[in-house]
Chain A
Amino acid sequence: MSETNTNAPLLEVKGLKKYFKTRRGMLHAVDDVSFKIERGKTLGIVGESGCGKSTLGRAILRLLEPNGGQVLFEGQDVANLNAEQMRLKRRDMQIIFQDPFSSLNPRKTIAQTIGEPLKLNKIITDKNKRMERVLELMSIVGLAERLVNTYPHELDGGRRQRIGVARALALNPKFIVCDEPVSALDVSIQAQVLNLMKELQSSLGLTYMFITHDLSVVNHFSDDIGVMYLGRMIEKAPAEELFANPIHPYTKALLSAIPIPDIHYKMERILLRGEVSSPIEPPNMCRFAPRCNDCMEKCRTSEPALVEVSPGHFVSCFLASDEVMPV
């Protein structure tokens, strides 16, 4: 097997790019994104529709082929692996999808769906032994044994999402991309699934990349949070630091927009103008400039780099970077 450096971060992404060809030009879905995730930790990725957060998750697993950059998993660049090597690597890297209604095959029973990765990877070839493992996985995620032969349409959203979790766990992965795993669920069920995922993380030592648009969920769940806007990572910091001390004007507006279920909580809301601009052939300027309340002259002519303003806190905004590195 390849060298495994246990001190290195489990996952390191360097300059990752994913572009899509459209009739109107290149769509920059993920544009030069870099970050690290330490073993056993959770990196939350937040952003609004179309910011590239799901594409980022898929490009890391090579469910979408990246156009550039590196994805180092335990120090090994997975972007260079051939198909067979990648197939083996995916045992360590799994994904839980957003929609528990469309991500399960309606013609397969729960047992077939959860057992499929074991069968395909020839991990457990014996049918009876495989069933034992399936039942074990079902009990780990809290699915009753009697449901083993049911089909997805017979189950509610919370139970379906538990199937998605069990399927992702089947191969004992080290790393799971969770792409909006609870956003299709009601709050009482959402809390059940979030608690389950947290318990699994500590008992199985999992590392998560948790993609969501829900800021209160990401705050609850993550060690570090990265904020994306139009394909760029515009701010990244430890969760508490980000909520206590947001620096990028977009992060500030995003945090101020969360409706808080407390009638005594009063927050000055920062309203943004307009809507997200087009990700197709973005001009060389700060991508947030058209909506920014603090936009300056140079924001429209050049793009700020992601710089570390305090330990672990990265921001790409001229307002912050000018203080650190005066021109």
Chain B
Amino acid sequence: MSNVSDNRRMALEIENLVVEYRTHEGTVHALNGLDLYIEKGKTLGLVGETGAGKTTAGLSVLRLVPDPPGVIVDGAIKLNGETIFDKTDKEMESIRGKAVSMIFQDPMTSLNPVFTVEDQIAEVIERHEQLTKEESYVKAREMLELVGIPGTRGGEYPHQFSGGMKQRVVIAIALACSPSVLIADEPTTALDVTIQAQVLEMMKGLREKYDTSMLMITHDLGIVAEICDSVSVIYAGRVIEHGDLEDVFDNTRHPYTEGLFNSLPNLQDRQSRLKPIQGLMPDPRDLPTGCPFHPRCDYAKDICSKERPPKTYRNERHYVECHLYNSENIVEGKVINR
């Protein structure tokens, strides 16, 4: 196998990203040294609960973190090897929608209600490609067909479509200029389960067709199992466990990841009692010292409240940030009882 850290194989690299929201009520520490990378053509799942920093991570890649109050304090983001923090606003405009696109969570609010759906798709195409107006509308209707909506409906307004179809329109806009990186922020959370199945199936197909690299932001481990190649589990603005699917699902090491799995009702064993994680997500304005998970952790030791744990690697890709592990016991596991 080739070297994983080879830049040319990376679609997206985020290194030590620190983002704060400086508000009147205090500084919200949204991201606290986030590391993330996606290989070309692969899909990474970013999993975590409300307030973990998932959406801020996605917005940072497009440089869309609202400023003020958002401040990017430290870190670097490379998109296809290019550092995006060096770009001018003008350059960013041609990157957004072309090199990287985002699908937002709520299709009800991410479409403009006073423009037809083909207007909204053609707008992206006109901005990025050397096409006439007519040509971009033809392409817009092709995009609609691609996501399973008859092209003849292009002249209709968002309110004339159902939730699932609106999300298809949003996906058509995001894919219109075949971006190399697609950021999907909870793309199916607002949809019903049978419609979610349709949309996920469609996204899988399109991803292969365009060889798109994808960042799938979600709270649903079931979706990760279905569509992702690797997973990063985020807690209080840091990735606390990362690895390929088999690593994280079958060789879970971090107590928080364990807690997430145990919180889910098991379809095979319906009588088992759920084992929730105790306590609540920490307030990002006032994060615990040391490991941010230690107040909720069943295995916390003295050191956990004092020092932030370093990365401990189980194999070339799979690592955790947890004081329970050293280079020996991480291989065998059995430190936590899943």
Q: Which residues of A contact B (CB under 8 A)?
A: 48-49, 156, 158, 186-192, 194-195, 198, 213, 215-217, 219-221, 239-240, 243, 253-254, 256-265, 269, 271-272, 275
In the assembled complex, B81 has its CB within 8 A of some CB on chain A: no
Bound state CA distance, A257 and B201, in angstroms?
11
Chain A residues with Cβ below 8 Å from B164 are 275
Chain A residues with Cβ below 8 Å from B49 are 186-188
Residue of A at shortest CB range from B260?
Answer: A187
Bound state CA distance, A6 and B306, in angstroms?
60
Q: Is the CB of B276 within 8 A of A260?
A: no
Stretch of B121-129, B171-179, B220-228 at the chain-chain interface: B220-228
CB contacts between A and B, total, < 8 Å: 114
Chain B residues with Cβ below 8 Å from A256 are 197
Chain A residues with Cβ below 8 Å from B206 are none
In the assembled complex, B165 has its CB within 8 A of some CB on chain A: yes
In the assembled complex, B94 has its CB within 8 A of some CB on chain A: no
Q: Is the CB of B219 within 8 A of A259?
A: no
In the assembled complex, B265 has its CB within 8 A of some CB on chain A: yes
Chain B residues with Cβ below 8 Å from A243 are 267, 270
Stretch of B16-24, B36-44, B207-215, B243-251 at the chain-chain interface: B243-251
Q: How far is the CB of B32 from chain A (nearest CB, A)?
A: 19
Q: Contacts A259-B223, A261-B221 given; indicate if A275 touches B270 (C-beta within 8 A).
A: no
Among B163, B192, B226, max chain A CB count under 10 A is at B192
Tell me the interface secondary structure of chain B in the complex: helix
Q: How far is the CB of A271 from chain B (nearest CB, A)?
A: 6
Q: How far is the CB of A294 from chain B (nearest CB, A)?
A: 16
In the assembled complex, B281 has its CB within 8 A of some CB on chain A: yes
Q: How far is the CB of A143 from chain B (nearest CB, A)?
A: 13
Q: Is the CB of B267 within 8 A of A188?
A: no
In the assembled complex, B329 has its CB within 8 A of some CB on chain A: no
Residue of B at shortest CB range from A157?
Answer: B50
Q: How far is the CB of A99 from chain B (nearest CB, A)?
A: 14
Q: Is the CB of B225 within 8 A of A261?
A: yes
Q: Is the CB of A194 within 8 A of B198?
A: no
Q: Is the CB of B276 within 8 A of A189?
A: yes
Q: Contacts A261-B224, A271-B198 given; indicate if A190 touches B263 (C-beta within 8 A).
A: yes
- Which of B192, B201, B245, B263 is the one whose CB lies under 8 Å from A187? B263
In the assembled complex, B326 has its CB within 8 A of some CB on chain A: no
Chain A residues with Cβ below 8 Å from B263 are 187-188, 190-191
Chain B residues with Cβ below 8 Å from A190 are 263, 276
Residue of A at shortest CB range from B220?
Answer: A259
Interface flags for B158-197 (1: CB within 8 Å of A; 0: not) read 0000111100000000000000000000000000111111
Chain A residues with Cβ below 8 Å from B223 are 259
Q: How far is the CB of A48 from chain B (nearest CB, A)?
A: 4
Chain A residues with Cβ below 8 Å from B85 are none
Q: How far is the CB of A167 from chain B (nearest CB, A)?
A: 21
Q: How far is the CB of A203 from chain B (nearest CB, A)?
A: 15
Q: Is the CB of B275 within 8 A of A259?
A: no
In the assembled complex, B73 has its CB within 8 A of some CB on chain A: no
Question: Which residues from 246 to 292 on chain B have a C-beta closer than 8 Å to any C-beta of chain A?
Answer: 246, 249-250, 259-267, 270, 273-277, 280-281
Bound state CA distance, A224 and B132, in angstroms?
59
